[in-house]
């Protein structure tokens, strides 16, 4: 994800026409939920107890939310960079400027060439749209027939368009987002499998497998051609945790059968490398990983929950994956490391309410990372902390910020809002999940793209679409569908 007004600086809105936009990349064009129970331990408390306690906290925490918003300080405003993305008749992807009157062929992200286009362009566009329809028909749309069918369909179309040849799942198509973050790509793989497009998910994992360092670490982000990172942001430990979590999530979504067996066999080396890297991270007297940048994309001098949570999720997933592979001894070692980290997270973060940093600090959206669907069971006190964090992160338009201490004081972010929607759906609060999905649906661009941000006046802002938000919206809808009575 990008930070503040984006750590790359603001991106100007282009005024070029739809037919003469950014340099293009050929889109991926294939031919064709919740994390299962990984096993609980006696030291962990059942999640239902947490949510009972959380209800009390919610009443207290939300009473002053409006006043908190009024007192937060300056008002920030961010422009909307693009209305969305589109596919030209020649198959290349482009961004659509905010002053464009461009439109899609129905049920696709293929740009309508318009009545003045040549017959060849109209025929080519129609053929591309038909390929999209075939791809959609090969899978499912979670929530089809319900109030979020349009939201989820648009999110899935954007996911399909942003997953380029070779499995490069780019965060967005505007130039400063046209990179593959292992974090975002992990969620994309999970979403693609949830919608029946598992072959595409495998390609996303293959891309990640190809760029991972031999020691199991990942750079913050990668060029879409897989040639390496675009800059010197350096390693981000959470990427390894997210990849293992996603592999386990996908394996459980598939269930027993040849597809799961093929997945485990193909990515055994990546599972081994990733597990070893995370085990090395906690092989110290404190049993905690070293400080690393997380989804805030800030350099950190102290460990954040945004790193500790995904590392714990990754070790839990490693135990499960190794168990599925029949590697009992290795699974036991990964489980023992997960236990040690579990205890260290409780001691360093849980005792003071799961703030961003160990000890007492403002909470952030990483509170969701110590609850299902990212952990087999919620850590003690995590549900109450999750409830309390909402009041700290709520913004004027109704969405959430990345954290209570986030420097922007009035901008809502769709990645965090969608994460909390999925967290609610996975933890027995479907009504709240639906409310957040409704909010996201109401704050899209006119072309249906989910923006990265929403301004204080409710207008979409930043890059659109954002891949991470689209993937989590799909996963939330799948969770709601699976858990429906």
What is the predicted pLDDT for the residue at 298? 94
- Greatest C-alpha distance within the chain: 70
How sure is the predictor about 74, in pLDDT bands with cuts at 50, 70 and 90?
A: low
Mean pLDDT of 242-254: 98
CA distance 24 to 38: 42
Distances (CA, A) of 290 to 1, 18, 127, 234: 21, 46, 51, 14
What is the predicted pLDDT for the residue at 436? 98
> For residue range 261-274, what is the model confidence (pLDDT) as tens digits?
999 999 999 999 99
Does the pLDDT of residue 89 top 50, yes or no? yes
Does the pLDDT of residue 26 top 80, yes or no? no
> For residue range 188-213, what is the model confidence (pLDDT) as tens digits?
999 999 999 999 999 999 999 999 99
How sure is the predictor about 76, in pLDDT bands with cuts at 50, 70 and 90?
A: low
Give the chain's domains with CATH numbers: 47-483 (1.50.10.10)
Query: Is the bond leading into 465 cis (omega within 30 degrees of zero)?
Result: yes
Does the pLDDT of residue 70 top 60, yes or no? no
Q: Give the DSSP per-residue string, 371-435.
A: STTTSSSPPTTHHHHHHHHHHHHB-TTS-B-SBTT-S-SS-EEHHHHHHHHHHHHHTT-HHHHHH
How sure is the predictor about 51, in pLDDT bands with cuts at 50, 70 and 90?
A: very low
Which 3 state secondary structure label does DSSP give 219?
strand
What is the predicted pLDDT for the residue at 59? 36
Sign of CA dihedral 456, 172, 308, 421: positive
pTM value is 0.86
73 or 129, greater pLDDT: 129
């Amino acid at each position: 994800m990008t930070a503040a007004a984006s750590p790359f600086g603001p991106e100007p809105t282009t005024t070029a026409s739809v037919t003469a936009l950014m340099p293009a990349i050929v889109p991926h064009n294939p031919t064709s939920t919740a994390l299962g129970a990984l096993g609980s331990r006696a030291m962990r408390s059942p999640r239902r107890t947490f949510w009972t306690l959380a209800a009390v906290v919610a009443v207290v925490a939300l009473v002053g939310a409006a006043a908190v918003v009024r007192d937060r300080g300056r008002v920030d405003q961010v422009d909307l960079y693009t209305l969305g993305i589109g596919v030209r008749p020649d198959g290349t992807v482009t961004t659509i400027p905010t002053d464009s009157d461009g439109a899609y062929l129905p049920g696709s992200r293929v740009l309508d060439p318009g009545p003045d286009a040549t017959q060849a362009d109209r025929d080519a566009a129609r053929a591309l749209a038909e390929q999209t329809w075939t791809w959609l028909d090969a899978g499912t749309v979670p929530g089809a027939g319900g109030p979020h069918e349009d939201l989820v369909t648009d999110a899935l179309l954007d996911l399909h368009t942003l997953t380029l040849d070779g499995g490069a799942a780019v965060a967005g198509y505007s130039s400063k987002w046209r990179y593959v973050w292992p974090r975002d790509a992990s969620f994309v793989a999970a979403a693609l499998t949830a919608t029946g497009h598992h072959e595409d998910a495998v390609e996303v994992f293959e891309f990640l497998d190809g760029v991972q360092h031999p020691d199991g670490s990942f750079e913050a982000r990668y060029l879409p051609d897989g040639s390496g990172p675009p800059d010197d942001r350096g390693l981000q430990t959470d990427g390894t945790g997210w990849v293992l979590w996603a592999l386990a999530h996908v394996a459980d979504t598939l269930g027993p059968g040849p597809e799961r067996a093929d997945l485990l066999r193909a990515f055994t080396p990546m599972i081994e490398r990733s597990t070893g890297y995370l085990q090395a991270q906690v092989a110290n007297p404190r049993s905690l990983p070293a400080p690393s940048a997380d989804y805030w994309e800030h350099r950190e001098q102290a460990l954040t929950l945004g790193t500790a949570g995904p590392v714990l999720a990754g070790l839990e997933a490693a135990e499960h994956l190794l168990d599925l592979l029949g590697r009992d001894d290795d699974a036991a070692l990964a489980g023992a490391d997960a236990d040690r980290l579990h205890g260290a997270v409780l001691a360093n973060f849980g005792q003071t309410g799961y703030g961003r940093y160990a000890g007492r600090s403002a909470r952030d959206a990483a509170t969701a990372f110590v609850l299902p669907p990212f952990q087999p069971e919620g850590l003690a006190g995590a549900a109450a902390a999750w409830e309390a964090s909402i009041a700290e992160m709520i913004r004027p338009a109704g969405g959430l910020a990345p954290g209570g201490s986030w420097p922007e004081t009035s901008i809502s972010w769709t990645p965090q809002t969608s994460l909390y929607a999925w967290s609610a759906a996975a933890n027995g609060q479907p009504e709240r999940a639906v409310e957040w999905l409704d909010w996201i649906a109401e704050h899209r661009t006119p072309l249906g793209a989910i923006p990265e941000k929403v301004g204080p006046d409710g207008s979409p802002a930043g890059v659109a679409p954002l891949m991470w938000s689209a993937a989590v919206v799909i996963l939330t809808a799948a969770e709601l569908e699976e858990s429906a009575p």
